Structure 1
């Protein structure tokens, strides 16, 4: 029984909304690739078209690789994942966007898949807290014994994502949709991992944390 009363989606609805979210994230760079090809067909400047195609293809690739770890199976049920893969996926994702710097500290370890997925989804929540870019500092502690991690966001237009605040507090009033499915999935993963989510809002930063829930 989920601890959070908002966690009520059926399996098929959860899968459908996650698929919708992934498609939404990939449509933009794929569409830009198509625009670049049309530019070439129309006799546009080859260098500009190729640069658009190259940049958009990279963006689509890193988004898909990130989604595979954050939302996908990434191996068999119950598998474990190297946190180094999560670090690379997060840094590549931010680098492709070219507006946010990521620092990552803590020991590298192989941990349960759902914990890695929680880490990456909380990373996405923190990323959405700085829509104009900035920095994200990821810190992992005790990954092989009593895992806890924090992600501190700093940047312009800093704000706590409203949907995440609603879902994590158990006070969500509207039905879950494609816009709120990612924070919903973050909270669901925390429940599955028996980890507690917290956040602290300061004037110049927001820190998102996950640690083992109290017995």
Structure 2
């Protein structure tokens, strides 16, 4: 299935979309921030002195995670400059690695370092997020270019055990609102579809065994 640049018109108000994206960002950062709070509470507990090192490690790890997620969501969902702004693919790589790479998932970034129109880079970041949902047990994601310059498209190959195209992702990217309406859990692929249409691009999913390929061109 493909999503067309001239696809279904959005059926969500700007206010609702903004609220849902804010909820999505809060969902992404609340876990590590909560872990930091828990670590501080342990440090303040005089009866838990033996847990001090564990608490400090938790605070340090969770703080880095929260920072990485905020930096990623700032570029993926935020304004990131004026309407005609251009974003650096090098900065995109940095936030992707900070957000995505861990002991379960690796990223092979094969894009050149250059400036592209803002919404095209925001679409790329949202496609990376979608790629992670296709490999729920982790795996490897290869990010490469289709074409060059301002017309550059993207190809993302996600390989991992139990790889699959998430239910409803294709229709959401195509601009279709679920019967029950949008919520913070599904707004991200819907927003990715809006970015694709704004950039005049088509997004496609293809699955071949344990590999799911996303293309935007």
**Alpha-carbon RMSD:** 1.5
- Runs of at least 5 residues in structure 1 that lack an aligned partner in the other structure: none
Q: Distance in 2 between matches of 1:124 and 1:22?
A: 13
Q: Distance in 1 between matches of 2:28 and 2:112?
A: 30
How many residue pairs get aligned? The number is: 209
1:127 aligns with 2:132: yes
Aligned to 2:199: 193
Tell me which of 122, 137, 144 is aligned to 1:139.
144
Distance 1:202 1:150, change over 3 A: same
- Runs of at least 5 residues in structure 2 that lack an aligned partner in the other structure: none
What is the TM-score with the length of structure 2 in the denominator?
Answer: 0.91
Q: Distance in 1 between matches of 2:211 and 2:54?
A: 38
Native 8 Å contact 1:4 1:168 kept in 2:
no
Distance 1:105 1:194, change over 3 A: same
What is the TM-score with the length of structure 1 in the denominator?
Answer: 0.92
DSSP-derived class of the 1:75 partner: coil
Native 8 Å contact 1:6 1:172 kept in 2:
no
| 1:92-171 equivalence runs, <5 A | 92-95=98-101, 97-169=102-174
Aligned to 2:67: 61
Q: Distance in 1 between matches of 2:141 and 2:24?
A: 22
Aligned to 1:206: 212
Q: Distance in 2 between matches of 1:208 and 1:35?
A: 38
Native 8 Å contact 2:131 2:158 kept in 1:
yes
Q: Alpha-carbon deviation of 1:171?
A: 5.2
Native 8 Å contact 1:18 1:181 kept in 2:
yes
Per-residue CA shift, 1:107-152, capped at 9, x if unaligned? 2210100000000001100011112111100002333142111111
Q: Distance in 2 between matches of 1:190 and 1:170?
A: 10
Q: Distance in 2 between matches of 1:23 and 1:192?
A: 25
